[in-house]
């Protein structure tokens, strides 16, 4: 598949591009480096496209999907804002990379804007990053994995489907 | 249903405890004490109580907030951001190892799983032989273990283990592998299973409900949401600690500062933050040992799926262990590991399980049938196992933790041992926490598959809840950051009293090792500061 080859030929530049992507993204933003994480534009579009693929089989299809997706994105955003500022900057770099078109094409194989990316293409990108020879991409996958799946299963609305009854009521004040 | 629970923190505040919340601080402050203690976890808590009971004026500095049973709602979404370092997502610099560490009053003792082990005799013997710690004999330490076990209610756990722990016992028994019962620091435990989110019933005898309240009742001052930034050092003495107040989010400094002056300073911020504070302060380090030999008990995870419900979220989280694989070879031979069962909660499981999408969702739907096993690698004994190193980047601690062939060898053997036990206990399938593994449906398949796996960071899931070393003690000043009493070799009025002093990992959950060893250090220090024998802490009747 073309997108997979494009990714694989990224070669040794991948980690460098990851660093550069974040740097460029930061440079194009007016905010200083210690500013809290911001989720807007293509970065938000990337997350909006990745969430249903990461949560396939958990997120219900249909009209409820868009609303549930918005809740997950809000929860992911909140979780990131709870991290130390230095870590928020690293996550900002990751989303910066996903937001910049050339970096997105080379490193994820997703050819057009995120809003038009097919679930199949995103699936391939996540699989590639998950077992990539480059530690920075594996770490990027792990961050998306933990942020999205963590936000989803933290929500009481997700517990019924997995048979978790929630905390015992006896001790609740 | 709503049985009123007394909250010792709320009661203490009503009694007039001297607690200063950094987020509420309207102006810069300077405070004086006999002893300033940085950190309120296992090391800081024990030190604070002994110093305060001995008549010394104590100030305790804690970066996290003061939360207590009225705040503990048994929900991961609340507990991780409020009570853990970096929202329970603290990581090594390469993001390969996720580290669970507390960041609240009581430190990790507020959120740990209550497992209480005395320091293994084999570990102490290694310390005497290799690190010149001649005073670390079982007989010399036994009274300190006795003292702290009485103080903190450490006792055998008589309730039957939950199914998650009993599967470890049954699977191991089938294979002729011995298991034991884990002792716990609880009084009147309700057997709920939510220790990791802060004990909602105050049964866990963490520092939050024992030593810190006792110190505050004896005139100590507690600063919360205050970060110790650097020590001001002049000659061979620490002059003061400069602290920054944090806002109500616990993250952003407010710009207000607090200067703490004292006769003696005790660093007890845990084994990542303590060396980082000393490095930020340019503390003398003539042998380049600060931050070196940091140990994590790198931990491998295996999930077994069972036909019956396991309900790993319910009941005492850790009650069965096996040290079988710590005793198969010499302590400095192939890396050994401890086996335990972790509590299974939705976020903990979802983030630890490899993969995503439909396959991940399918395993999550079996949530109530998942059995978890942990293998804690005993690092710091094999000649190649020199641990990680803490450095400071933009003022924040960074931990590098290279994985040598000896650790990967241990990881592979650990995944094999856990899968074999899970199948012996009747698992339908086993899914090691590894991006390329399983699920396996038989031991034969798992044995072949796990042996052939690729072992690399990120691909193999590694976690940790135990941070040790980085300010190692040694008899010889050229080989240690602190002496066997915890006194900083190069500075006259500075001590380190936490897991950072250990020259290796412990080979078991470290809380009780910290309590007992620090109790001895703090008692020696209190006696030297007062000229009288130190007071002995006792539990309230």
Segment B63-84, tens digit of pLDDT? 999 999 999 999 999 999 999 9
Name the CA dihedral angle for B130, B135, B138, B139, rounded to a multiple of 10 degrees: 150
Q: Within 13 Å, how many C-alpha atoms sit on residue B104's CB side?
A: 29
Residues B266, B171 share a domain: no
Whether residue B155 lies within 8 A of chain A, CB to CB, comes out as no
Supply A37's token pair: 């994480």
Residues B317, B437 share a domain: yes
Whether residue A83 lies within 8 A of chain B, CB to CB, comes out as yes
**Tens-digit pLDDT profile for residues B105-163:** 999 999 999 999 999 999 999 999 999 999 999 999 999 999 999 999 999 999 999 99
Name the A residues in 43-62 with CB < 8 Å from any B CB: 53-58
Q: How would you classify residue B510: left for phi > 0, otherwise alpha for psi between -120 and 50, otherwise beta?
A: alpha
Q: Is residue A162 part of a domain?
A: no
Q: Is residue B407 part of a domain?
A: yes
Residues B513, B451 share a domain: no
List, in order, residues 6 or more apart from B313 with CB less than 8 Å away. A164, B193, B194, B343, B344, B345
Last residue of a domain, one of B417, B446, B464: B464
Whether residue B248 lies within 8 A of chain A, CB to CB, comes out as no
Q: Could you list the residue range(s) of the whole structural domain that residue A67 is in?
A: 23-157
Residue B303 phi, psi dihedral angles, 5° rounding: -110, 130
- Tell the residue number behind the tokens 């909140």, with chain if given: A78
Check residue A78 and give its pLDDT: 94
| CATH label of the domain that carries residue B216 | 3.50.50.60
Which chain A residues touch B248 with a CB distance below 8 Å? none
Q: How far apart are CA B79 and CA A82, in angstroms?
A: 12
Last residue of a domain, one of B464, B489, B515: B464
CA separation, residue B293 to residues B296, B319, B500 (Å):
10, 30, 9
Residues B38, B177 share a domain: no
Confidence of residue B3 (pLDDT cuts 50, 70, 90): low
Q: Is residue B96 part of a domain?
A: yes
Confidence of residue B539 (pLDDT cuts 50, 70, 90): confident
Supply A60's token pair: 């219900």
Name the B residues in 448-487 with CB < 8 Å from any A CB: 457-459
Confidence of residue B541 (pLDDT cuts 50, 70, 90): low
| CATH label of the domain that carries residue B315 | 3.30.410
Whether residue B541 lies within 8 A of chain A, CB to CB, comes out as no
Q: How far apart are CA B485 and CA B497, in angstroms?
A: 9
Check residue B4 and give its pLDDT: 57
List the one residue out of B148, B230, B199, B173 whose CA is nearest residue B519: B148
Q: Is residue A5 part of a domain?
A: no
**Tens-digit pLDDT profile for residues B504-530:** 999 999 999 999 999 999 999 999 999
Distance from CA of A164 to the nearest CA of B (A): 7
Give the count of domains, chain B.
2
Q: Is residue A27 part of a domain?
A: yes
Task: Give me the residue from B192, B347, B367 closest to A168, CB to CB.
Answer: B192
Residues B434, B420 share a domain: yes
Q: Is residue A103 part of a domain?
A: yes
Q: How far apart are CA B119 and CA A124, in angstroms?
A: 48
Last residue of a domain, one of B421, B448, B464: B464
Residues B184, B50 share a domain: no
Task: Give me the residue from A82, A139, A167 closest to B87, CB to CB.
Answer: A82
**Tens-digit pLDDT profile for residues B38-63:** 999 999 999 999 999 999 999 999 99
Check residue A1 and give its pLDDT: 39
Q: How far apart are CA B211 and CA B214, in angstroms?
A: 5
Residues B372, B338 share a domain: yes
Mean pLDDT for chain B? 96
Q: Do A86 and B394 touch (CB under 8 A)?
A: yes
Give the count of domains, chain A.
1
Q: Is residue B230 part of a domain?
A: yes
Residues B265, B184 share a domain: no
Q: Do A149 and B74 touch (CB under 8 A)?
A: no
Name the B residues in 380-399 with CB < 8 Å from any A CB: 393-394, 396
Higher pLDDT, B26 or A35: B26
Q: Is residue A142 part of a domain?
A: yes
Q: Is residue B10 part of a domain?
A: no
**Tens-digit pLDDT profile for residues B346-372:** 999 999 999 999 999 999 999 999 999
Whether residue A82 lies within 8 A of chain B, CB to CB, comes out as yes
Q: Is residue A82 part of a domain?
A: yes
Residues B498, B401 share a domain: no
pLDDT higher than threshold 60 for residue B462: yes
CA separation, residue A7 to residues A104, A108, B474 (Å):
10, 6, 51
Q: Is residue B479 part of a domain?
A: yes
Chain CA centroid to CA B258, Å: 27
Q: Is the pTM of this model over 0.90?
A: yes
Q: Is residue B237 part of a domain?
A: yes
Q: Is residue A8 part of a domain?
A: no
List the one residue out of B223, B265, B276 whose CA is nearest residue B246: B223
- Tell the residue number behind the tokens 């002995």, with chain if given: B536
Check residue B366 and give its pLDDT: 97
Q: How far apart are CA A46 and CA B312, in angstroms?
A: 35
Q: Using an 8 Å Cβ cutoff, are B184 and B117 in contact?
A: no
pLDDT < 70: residue spans in chain A? 1-34, 62-63, 170-173
Q: How far apart are CA B455 and CA B113, in angstroms?
A: 29
CA separation, residue B385 to residues B181, B377, B380, B397, B410 (Å):
29, 11, 5, 21, 11
Residues B108, B96 share a domain: no
Q: Is residue A15 part of a domain?
A: no
Burial track B204-234 (b if 16+ CB lie within 10 A, e otherwise)? bbbbbbbbbbbbbbbebbbbbbbbbbbbebe
pLDDT higher than threshold 80 for residue B540: no
Q: Do B74 and A171 touch (CB under 8 A)?
A: yes
Looking at residue B209, what DSSP letter applies? Answer: G
Q: Is residue B194 part of a domain?
A: no
Looking at residue B368, what DSSP letter applies? Answer: G
Q: Could you list the residue range(s) of the whole structural domain that residue B426 is in?
A: 86-100+158-188+298-464
């Amino acid at each position: 598949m073309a997108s997979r080859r494009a990714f694989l030929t990224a070669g040794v530049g991948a980690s460098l591009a990851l660093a550069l992507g974040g740097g460029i993204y930061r440079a194009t933003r007016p905010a200083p480096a210690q500013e809290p994480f911001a989720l807007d534009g293509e970065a938000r579009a990337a997350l909006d496209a990745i969430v249903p693929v990461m949560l396939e089989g958990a997120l219900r299809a249909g009209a409820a999907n868009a609303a549930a997706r918005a809740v997950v994105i809000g929860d992911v955003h909140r979780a990131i804002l709870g991290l130390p500022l230095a870590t928020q900057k690293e996550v900002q770099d990751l989303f910066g990379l996903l937001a910049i078109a050339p970096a997105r094409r080379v490193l994820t194989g997703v050819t057009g804007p995120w809003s038009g990316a097919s679930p199949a293409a995103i699936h391939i990108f996540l699989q590639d990053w998950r077992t990539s020879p480059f530690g920075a991409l594996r770490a990027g996958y792990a961050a998306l994995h933990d942020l999205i799946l963590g936000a989803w299963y933290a929500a009481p609305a997700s517990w019924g489907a997995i048979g978790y009854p929630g905390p015992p009521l006896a001790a609740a004040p | 249903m709503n049985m009123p629970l007394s909250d010792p923190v709320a009661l203490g505040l009503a009694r007039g405890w001297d607690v200063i919340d950094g987020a509420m601080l309207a102006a810069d402050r300077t405070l004086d004490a006999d002893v300033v203690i940085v950190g309120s976890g296992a090391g800081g808590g024990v030190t604070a109580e002994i110093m305060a009971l001995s008549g010394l004026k104590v100030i305790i500095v804690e970066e996290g907030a003061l939360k207590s049973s009225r705040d503990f709602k048994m929900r991961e979404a609340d507990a991780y951001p409020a009570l853990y370092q970096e929202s329970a997502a603290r990581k090594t610099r390469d993001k390969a190892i996720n580290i669970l560490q507390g960041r609240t009053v009581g430190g990790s003792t507020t959120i740990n799983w209550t497992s209480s082990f005395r320091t293994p005799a084999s570990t102490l013997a290694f310390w005497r032989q290799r690190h010149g710690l001649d005073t670390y004999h079982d007989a010399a330490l036994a009274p300190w273990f006795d003292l702290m076990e009485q103080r903190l209610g450490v006792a055998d756990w008589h309730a039957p283990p939950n199914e998650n722990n009993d599967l470890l016992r049954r699977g191991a028994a089938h294979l002729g592998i011995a298991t034991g019962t884990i002792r716990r620091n609880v009084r009147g435990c309700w057997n709920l299973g939510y220790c990791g989110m802060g004990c909602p019933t105050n049964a866990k005898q963490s520092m939050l409900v024992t030593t810190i309240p006792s110190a505050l009742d004896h005139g100590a001052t507690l600063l919360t949401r205050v970060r110790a930034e650097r020590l001001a050092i002049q000659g061979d003495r620490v002059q003061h600690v400069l602290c920054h107040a944090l806002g109500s989010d616990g993250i952003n400094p407010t710009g207000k500062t607090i200067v703490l002056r004292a006769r003696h300073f005790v660093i007890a911020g845990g084994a990542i933050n303590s060396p980082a504070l000393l490095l930020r302060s340019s503390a003398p380090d003539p042998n380049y040992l600060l931050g070196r030999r940091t140990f994590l008990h790198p931990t491998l995870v295996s999930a077994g799926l069972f036909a019956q419900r396991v309900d790993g979220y319910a009941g005492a989280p850790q009650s069965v262990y096996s040290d079988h694989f710590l005793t198969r070879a010499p302590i400095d031979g192939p890396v050994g590991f401890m086996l335990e069962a972790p509590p299974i909660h939705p976020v903990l499981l979802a983030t630890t399980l490899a993969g995503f999408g439909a396959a991940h969702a399918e395993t999550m739907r079996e949530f109530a049938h998942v059995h978890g096993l942990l293998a804690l690698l005993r690092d710091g004994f094999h000649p190649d196992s020199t641990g990680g190193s803490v450095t400071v980047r933009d003022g924040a601690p960074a931990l590098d933790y290279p994985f040598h062939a000896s650790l990967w060898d241990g990881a592979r053997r650990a995944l094999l041992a856990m899968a074999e036990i899970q199948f012996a206990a009747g698992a339908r399938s086993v899914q090691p926490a590894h991006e390329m593994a399983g699920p396996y449906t038989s031991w034969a398949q798992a044995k072949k598959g796990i042996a052939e796996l690729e072992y690399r960071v990120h691909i193999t899931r590694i976690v940790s809840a135990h941070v040790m070393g980085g300010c190692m003690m040694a008899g010889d000043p050229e080989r240690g950051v602190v002496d066997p009493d915890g006194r900083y070799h190069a500075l006259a009025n500075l001590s380190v009293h936490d897991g950072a002093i250990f020259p290796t990992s412990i080979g078991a959950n470290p809380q009780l090792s910290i309590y007992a060893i620090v109790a001895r250090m703090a008692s020696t220090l209190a006696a030297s500061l007062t000229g009288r024998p130190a007071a002995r802490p006792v539990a309230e009747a």
